[in-house]
Amino acid sequence: MIVILEPNLSKNDARHKAIVAHLNSYPNIQLRSHEVKGQQQSLTEIYLIGDTKPLPLDIIAALPGVERVIRISAEYRVLGRHCDDLRSANFEYNGVTFGQDTLNIFAGLCAVDTPEHVEAMMRALQENGQTCTRMGAYKPRTSPYAFQGHGASCLPYVFELAGKYGIKVVAMEVTHESHVDEIHQALHQTGNPTGVILQIGTRNTQNFELLKSVGRQNDYPVLLKRGFGISLEESLNAAEYLASEGNSRIVFCLRGMKTHLGDPHRNFVDFAHVPVVKRLTRMPVCIDCSHSVGTRIAGADNILDIFHVTAQGIIAGANMVLVDFHPAPEKALVDGPQALRLNELAYFLEDIRIARQAYLDRHALNQQFQDSQG
Ligand code: PEP
Ligand code: MN
């Protein structure tokens, strides 16, 4: 059960104290408070943990200072979409809105290699009206001998160049909690020229200590990848770890499943789960078309499979696209063969526009149909 308090009701308010005392009077029920900070107001949600079935919903809902009480019908307490639960999980970060009804494109380098490549990428993004990018500084690699990313040393020039070209949000993977501090310091030292969404990669989806520490901070939102060899439910519970620690500004990213049944793609593309995640939770859903397909092969129609799966995810309502580009893919230190080229950026964005319009048309058509049914 979730008890949602009236907006801006502070912990010191007598009504807040009376509500907590009342809820604490029920035996074997634990309380967990969760702050949702919006731009104009902050909301306190109190999660009741234990056997809440016998609790009198009407009495709790009538307590002064309580706005609403929701019975939890699904497993994901914070992020789930419970009965009659129309709460939006949209959030704004550094001027960019993330939600289940928006679409943001994060095109950029899989791994930062040189300042020249970073600058060429950022310039191309600005020329194409983009304000978000992906830049890998910490790369989790299969082989210990493979390039592991430049780490903290590249952060100052990545952030300065992002600021120079009007990039507001950089998706950047972290594999250890110390990386969050390094990012924080580098942003501070460069005068906060941009923002960062912390990416947790598929190899760390169930790294619970990392999830807890990233969940405890509220400076940065999180892009959580689906684990490549675990069930969707397990991955959504990983997101819930972040949220239960206090950070519910999360985008959930599908990136394909590791199985040879997906051959010749690098991973089995799982974008049919876009509407599933949006039904089960209130998180915006991202698709990573590069790491799922993993190659530049094209269909008989000459359209790259990466373009096809991007369109498939978007036409099903995806809210974010994570995609590898590189100014000189043959020189890329990581994942060059799957990178799109800068001269494909405008074409890729136009293809996305077409797919997004098709989704919006489908959405309107469905609305018309529902209305006609009375
Ligand atoms: C990446 O996005 O750079 C990456 C390593 O992805 P994943 O964790 O999905 O393999
Ligand atoms: Mn990669």
307-365 per-position pLDDT tens digit: 999 999 999 999 999 999 999 999 999 999 999 999 999 999 999 999 999 999 999 99
Residue nearest to ligand 1 atom 6, measured at CA: 201
- Ligand 1 interacting residues, C-beta cut-off 6 A: 110, 136, 173, 201-203, 225, 255, 288, 291
Question: What was the pLDDT predicted at 52?
Answer: 87
- Which is nearest to 348 in space by CA: 166, 197, 124, 136? 124
Atom 9 of ligand 1: nearest residue by CA position:
202
Query: Looking at the predicted structure, is the pLDDT value of residue 37 above 90?
Result: no
According to the model, what pLDDT value does residue 373 have? 95
Ligand 1: distance of its center to the CA of 288 in Å? Answer: 8
Q: Which domains does the chain have, with CATH numbers?
A: 2-87 (3.30.70.1140), 103-369 (3.20.20.70)
* Residue 333 DSSP one-character state: S
Contact present, 326 and 107 (Cβ < 8 Å): no
Ligand closest in space to the Cα of 335: 2
Which residues, 6+ apart, have CB-to-CB distance to 322 below 8 Å? 106, 134, 171, 223, 253, 255, 286, 287, 288, 289, 290, 291
Q: Is 350 left (phi over 0), alpha (psi -120 to 50) or beta?
A: alpha
Mutation pick for ligand 1 pocket among 110, 148, 198 (CB with most ligand atoms within 8 Å): 110
The pLDDT of 73-94, averaged and rounded, is: 79
Crossing angle (nearest 10°) for helices 345-372 and 305-315: 30
Mean pLDDT calculated for residue range 152-172: 98
Q: How far separated are the first and last CA of the chain, in Å rounded?
A: 32
Calpha distance 359→365 (Å, rounded): 10
Q: Residue 70 — very low, low, confident or very high, per pLDDT cuts 50/70/90?
A: confident
- The reported pTM is 0.89
Quote the pLDDT of residue 84: 62
pLDDT band at 74 (very low <50, low <70, confident <90, very high): low
Residues near 210 by beta carbon (within 8 Å), at least 6 away in sequence? 174, 175, 176, 177, 200, 204
The number of the ligand 1 atom at minimal distance from the alpha carbon of 253 is 9
What's the rounded Cα separation, in Å, for the pair 124 and 109? 12
> What percent of the chain has pLDDT above 90?
86
- What phi, psi does 26 have (nearest 5°)? -80, 130
Q: Whose CA is nearest to atom 3 of ligand 1?
A: 110
Task: List, for residues 264-315, the tens digit of each pLDDT value.
Answer: 999 999 999 999 999 999 999 999 999 999 999 999 999 999 999 999 999 9
Provide the pLDDT confidence category of residue 190 given band limits of 50, 70 and 90. very high
Q: What is the pLDDT of residue 83?
A: 67
pLDDT tens readout for residues 281-291: 999 999 999 99
225 Cα nearest atom in ligand 1: 9
- The predicted pLDDT at position 80 comes to 85
Ligand 1 pocket test, pick from 255, 258, 266, 286 with the greatest ligand atom count within 8 Å of Cβ, gives 255
Instruction: Tell me whether the omega of the peptide bond preceding residue 264 falls within 30 degrees of 0, making it cis.
Output: yes
Q: Would you say how long the chain is, in residues?
A: 374
Residue 87 has pLDDT above 90, yes or no: no
pLDDT at res. 374: 81
Q: Name the helix (H) or strand (E) containing 116.
A: helix 115-127
pLDDT score of 262 more than 80: yes
d(CA 42, ligand 1 centre) in Å: 33
Average pLDDT over residues 231-248: 94
What is the spatial distance between Cα 217 and Cα 236, in angstroms, rounded to a whole number?
Answer: 19
Amino acid at site 325: F
Q: Please, are residues 106 and 321 in contact by the beta-carbon 8 Å criterion?
A: yes
Report the percentage of the chain scoring pLDDT > 70: 98
Which phi-psi region, left, alpha or beta, contains residue 129 (left: φ > 0; alpha: ψ -120 to 50)?
left
- Closest ligand by atom to 136 CA: 1
Residues 252, 279 contacting (CB under 8 angstroms): no
Asked if pLDDT for residue 36 goes beyond 90, the answer is no
In this structure, which amino acid lies at residue 310? T
CA distance 249 to 368: 32
